Structure 1
Amino acid sequence: MRALTFAPGREGTLDVREVPDPERDKGELLVQGLALGICGTDRELAAAEYGWPPPGRERMIIGHESLGRVLETPEGSAFSPGDLVVGVVRRPDPVPCGACGRGEFDMCRNGRYTERGIKEIDGYAAERWSVEAGYAVRLDPSLESVGMLVEPASVVAKAWEQIERIGSRAWFEPRTVLVTGAGPIGLLAALLGRQRGLDVHVLDRAPEGLKSRLVHDLGGTYHSASSLTGLGGIKPDVIIECTGAGQLVIDAMTATAAVGMVCLCGLAAGGREHRVDAGVINRDIVLENDVIFGTVNANLRHFRDAAAALAKADSDWLERLITRRIPLDRALDAFAPAADDVKVVIDLTA
């Protein structure tokens, strides 16, 4: 079968190769790969910025934003051939740590977790793949063309879960959320905000165009800007920061309403310095009982929450998030971002 493989730590090794068919272990599903979403993580892996191959191997299959259809199931499985599924990315460490031992492997404490397509386990960029039934999530059939969005949506489903858990420390009825960044994570964060009945604002550098129309069609307000100045005095109850831009991160810390919350979902590049008045930030956070926290990855329940959220969303709106579909034999084209990209998808059947 064909698969998109690379040698972690070696730039320029990404290519489509013939690899052996997956061997389905006891308790695993055999799945026909349908599509794969590509994100910044995949591009960083291809650029040899990080990545860990399976023990004893040089190459591995990339890909963590999966979508497939079940071909075979283990005896007694809750799945059936023909089911539309996605695979969870992370697996708990073998020790396990306290968090992994309680099923909270997205909060692993010792870093010995593994991840499909990223760390020590083959990913989902293949014409066929296998997955443990306990790490697969069944999708509504309506998501057949957009189900690869479940993985990025799981990241923001976790973010919203954490926001609501932290908010429950006191009376919590947020009205306004500001999302910084209108990439897939930001737009999906906005979608889940609207599903919660919030007044949603999205800030992005892109001028009026597809991203602004997507926000407007959600019922949100789009701000074309690179900073938080000029937002018309908006003091959001929640900010979900999805850019990783250093100055935006710093500005967000003092931009919420009292008892506000800043959830950091973006990853900042190192090596850039910013002038910061730490005293002002400290006083604002302390005197207003604010919270700033980071979140990454997702658990099984977050995948399920994401699948449910997407099944409730407007299917045409979700389709518009996917700006390019690339056949597997031209998969490397998906790693060269275009100016108007939102989400690029590899068609594993073409």
Structure 2
Amino acid sequence: MRALTVRPGEPKSLRVAELPDPEPRAGELLVRGLALGVCGTDKEIVAGDYGWAPPGEERLVLGHESLGRVLRAPAGSGFGEGDLVAGVVRRPDPVPCGACAHGEFDMCRNGRYTERGIKEHHGYGSELWTVEADYAARLDPSLERVGVLLEPTTVVAKAWEQIERIGDRSWFEPRRVLVTGAGPIGLLAALIGSQRGLDVHVLDRVTQGPKPRLVAELGATYHHEAADVVAARVQPDVVVEATGAGSVVYDVVEHTAAYGIVCLTGVSAAGRRIAVDFGAVNRELVLANDVVFGSVNANLRHYRLAAAALTRADPGWLERLITRRVPLQRAEEAFTAGDGDVKVVVTLSEDG
């Protein structure tokens, strides 16, 4: 089989390699890969900035945003031939910590987790892959063209779940949400916000291309002014921050409505410094009962929530979110940004 591989820590090591077909172990599904989503984490691994190969190996099979079709499933697994599935990314640490022991491995406390296609565990970027039945998520057959969006949707499904749990510390009836960043994570966060019946606002820098239209099709409002201006005007009850830009984070924290919740999903680049008056931030948080928290990854519960959200969504809108599909033999092209890119997908088979 062919697989998309990289040597972690070595720039320009991305290549499509011939590897032996995988043999499923007891309790595992054998899956034909259909499609693989490409995100910022993948680009960091390809650039040599991130990633770990499995112990004793030099190369890592890339890919954590998966979609495939079951070829073979063990009896009693709940899966059958032809099922559309995605593989869960993270595996709990072997110790395990308290969170992992309770199935909340997205909240691992000791960092000993592994991740498919990222950390010490081969990913889903191959024509064939295996996955434990307990770490496979079934998708509705109608999602064949867009089910590769499941993993990024799990990230925002978790974010919204955490927002609700924090809000439930007291009376909570949010009306306005501001999403900063109109990449895949931001747009999927806006999708779930619109499904919740909220007044959704999305902020991004671009004024051309598909992003403004995708936001409008959700019934949401698109903004491209400075973050402080937009946040001050919208006065959001909830902010989902998906840019990782320090100045944007500061501006939205400063301008939420009272009792506001800011969820940070974007990872900031190191080395960029901005002057911040932490005394003013502290005063704002305390006097307004505000909350700022970070959220990353997802557990099995969030995969179910994400699958339900995608099933409820307009399939045409989801299809338009995928702006470029690149065949496996030309996978390198997927790691170079193109004009108007939102989500780029590598197709692993002819029907992917």
Coarse TM-score class (shorter-chain normalised): over 0.9
Q: Which residue of 1 aligns with 2:154?
A: 154
Retained in 2: the 8 A contact 1:65–1:151?
yes
User: 1:253-286 CA deviation, whole Å, 9 max, x = no partner?
Assistant: 1111111000000011111111111121111100
Aligned to 1:106: 106
State the match for 1:245 in structure 2.
245
Q: For 1:291 and 1:92, how far apart are their aligned partners in 2? A: 28
Q: CA deviation at 1:329?
A: 0.3
> What is the CA–CA distance in structure 2 between the aligned matches of 1:231 and 1:244, rounded to whole Å?
16
Please state how far the C-alpha of 1:252 moved relative to its aligned partner: 1.3
Report SS of the residue matched to 2:257.
coil
SS in 2 for 1:152: helix
Tell me which residue corresponds to 2:16.
16
**Partner secondary structure for residue 292 of structure 1:** strand
Kindly report which structure 2 residues correspond to 1:8-87, keeping only aligned pairs within 5 A, or say none.
8-87=8-87
Distance change (3 Å), C-alpha of 1:136 and 1:286:
same
1:199-238 aligned at under 5 Å gives the runs 199-230=199-230, 233-238=233-238
Give 1:11 shift: 1.1
Q: Quote the Cα distance in structure 1 between the aligned partners of 2:282 and 2:126.
A: 49
Is the contact between residue 326 and residue 333 of structure 2 (CA under 8 Å) also seen in structure 1? Answer: yes
Aligned 8 A contact 2:176 2:199 in 1: yes
Q: Work out whether residues 208 and 224 of structure 1, in 8 Å CA contact, stay in contact via their aligned partners in 2.
A: no
Contact 1:204–1:226 (CA under 8 A) maintained in structure 2: no
Letter in 2 for 1:265: T
Matching residue's letter, 2:222: Y
- For the residue of structure 1 that corresponds to 2:44, the secondary structure is helix
Structure 1 unaligned residues grouped into runs of 5+: none
Instruction: Confirm or deny: 8 A CA contact 1:38 1:334 kept in the other structure.
Output: yes
Q: Partner letter of residue 100 of structure 1?
A: C
2:329 alignment partner, SS class: helix
- By how many angstroms is 1:251 displaced? 1.1
Give 1:139 deviation, angstroms. Answer: 0.3
Give the 3 Å change call, closer, same or farther, for CA 11–209 of structure 1 in structure 2: closer
Matched letter for residue 109 of structure 2: R
1:1-350 matched pairs, under 5 angstroms: 1-230=1-230, 233-350=233-350
Paired residue type of 1:23: E
Q: What RMSD in Å do the two structures reach over aligned CA positions?
A: 0.9
Structure 1 residue 69: Cα displacement? 0.2
Q: Do the aligned residues in 1 keep the contact of 2:178 with 2:231 (CA within 8 Å)?
A: no
Shift >4 Å, 4+ stretches: none
The 1:290/1:230 distance shift into structure 2, 3 A limit, reads closer
Cα distance, 1:228 vs. partner? Answer: 2.6
How many pairs are equivalent? 350
Distance in 1 separating the partners of 2:59 and 2:301: 31
> Does the Cα contact within 8 Å between 2:231 and 2:251 map onto a contact in 1?
no
CA shift digits 1:111-133 (9 cap, x unpaired): 00000000111100000000000
Q: Kindly provide the CA deviation profile for residues 158-183 of structure 1, in whole angstroms up to 9, marking residues without a partner as x.
A: 00000000000000010000000000
